[in-house]
Amino acid sequence: MSGSKAFIVGISGCSSSGKTTLARLLRDIFPSTMILHEDDFYKTDTDIPVRNGFQDWDCADAISIPDMEEALVHIHATGTFPASLDSKEDQNSVGKRPVSDAKMQAMKAKVASWLEKAKPIHKLFTEGSLRLCLFDGFLLYSQEMQSVMNLIDLKLFLLVSREKAVQRREARDGYVTLEGFWKDPPGYVEKIVWPNYATSHAWLFEKGDVEGIPNKAVLAETGIMAQLDRGLDVDMETTLEWAVEKVITGLEEFALVNDTTNEGV
């Protein structure tokens, strides 16, 4: 987005696919980086819809999409979070980092070396006129979120198997909400989380099978990037390397646009 003060990277996928973990790793690698969580736009606890006997926290109707759009526009314009944004996500527990210290140091060195050569981006970062915003959420690329997708500069999509997603989600302690704390009741993941993901993301896969082959034509048309031909459940070290490369490429393209519109920035 030309003239923007933030480069917004969407990181989406099924719940427990590694979105927030990846965002936190990237925040430790790139300078001037902040994280925006889709979970910070949940409606109040009493406004969460009920389906199949459960409060359904894993659907678009549970999210205030207008508030999310407003926040993204504000971030692009100012490079800062709206004053009204009160993040709850970082109050949730964080597991052990699934990436070695050696890999983290290698990625930090890679980005530092790149920045020494990427003069336009380095200048934007050091002058404080550009920030990197990592936006993680489980529904960013559902068709109900088209207006949100239009506000994301780089779209990363993490693939995961049903077995792995269920295993990880069921191992979680729970989630801080606007008005309290939520812990998945028995059967919630099988009856709500995975079916919602499969329904919302079928359009991105051939034959609508979210454990099958991603539809490369649809991904190309929408600008959504996934680790194609690597299968599901790619390890986080490999995913981190892939994401770092995509962010670097995206920032370089951003710098070219801004360099031609801002008199040699």
Binned at pLDDT 50, 70 and 90, residue 126 comes out as confident
- Percent of the chain's residues with pLDDT above 70: 89
In this prediction, residue 45 carries a pLDDT of 87
149 burial via Cβ count (<10 Å: 0-12, 13-18, 19+): middle
Token digits of residue 22: 């990846």
Average pLDDT for 46-62: 93
Q: pLDDT tens digits, residue range 103-112?
A: 999 999 999 9
In this prediction, residue 11 carries a pLDDT of 98
Q: pLDDT tens digits, residue range 182-234?
A: 688 888 999 999 999 999 999 999 999 999 999 999 999 999 999 998 999 99
SS3 133: strand
Name the residue type at position 57.
W
Furthest-apart CA atoms within the chain: distance in Å: 58
In this prediction, residue 263 carries a pLDDT of 42
In this prediction, residue 255 carries a pLDDT of 83
Q: Point out which residues pair with 131 in neighbouring strands.
A: 6
Measured torsion, CA atoms of residues 69, 71, 73, 77, in degrees rounded to the nearest 10 = 180
Rounded to whole angstroms, how far apart are CA atoms 265 and 254?
Answer: 11
- Residue 241 CB partners (closer than 8 Å, separation 6+): 103, 107
In this prediction, residue 193 carries a pLDDT of 93
Q: What is the DSSP string of 77-100?
A: HHSS--TT----GGGS-----SS-
Q: Which residues are catalytic?
A: 39
**Could you tell me if 32 and 104 are in contact, meaning their C-beta atoms sit under 8 angstroms apart?**
no
6-261 CATH? 3.40.50.300
- Residue 69 CB partners (closer than 8 Å, separation 6+): 147, 148, 151
Comparing 62-76, 109-123, 146-160, 226-240, the range with the smallest average pLDDT is 109-123
Average pLDDT for 33-43: 93
Mean pLDDT value across the chain: 89
- Percent of the chain's residues with pLDDT above 90: 69
Q: pLDDT tens digits, residue range 129-154?
A: 899 999 999 999 999 999 999 999 99
Binned at pLDDT 50, 70 and 90, residue 87 comes out as low
Rounded to whole angstroms, how far apart are CA atoms 13 and 160?
Answer: 8
In this prediction, residue 264 carries a pLDDT of 39
Please tell me what DSSP assigns to residue 262: T
Whose tokens are 């409060």? That residue is 55
SS3 8: strand
Comparing 4-8, 73-77, 84-88, the range with the smallest average pLDDT is 84-88
Domain ranges for the chain, please list them: 6-261
In this prediction, residue 175 carries a pLDDT of 62
Task: Tell whether the model's pLDDT for residue 76 goes beyond 90.
Answer: yes
Rounded to whole angstroms, how far apart are CA atoms 80 and 35?
Answer: 11
Task: Tell whether the model's pLDDT for residue 12 goes beyond 70.
Answer: yes
Binned at pLDDT 50, 70 and 90, residue 180 comes out as low
Handedness of CA 123, 124, 128, 131 (dihedral sign): negative
In this prediction, residue 128 carries a pLDDT of 81
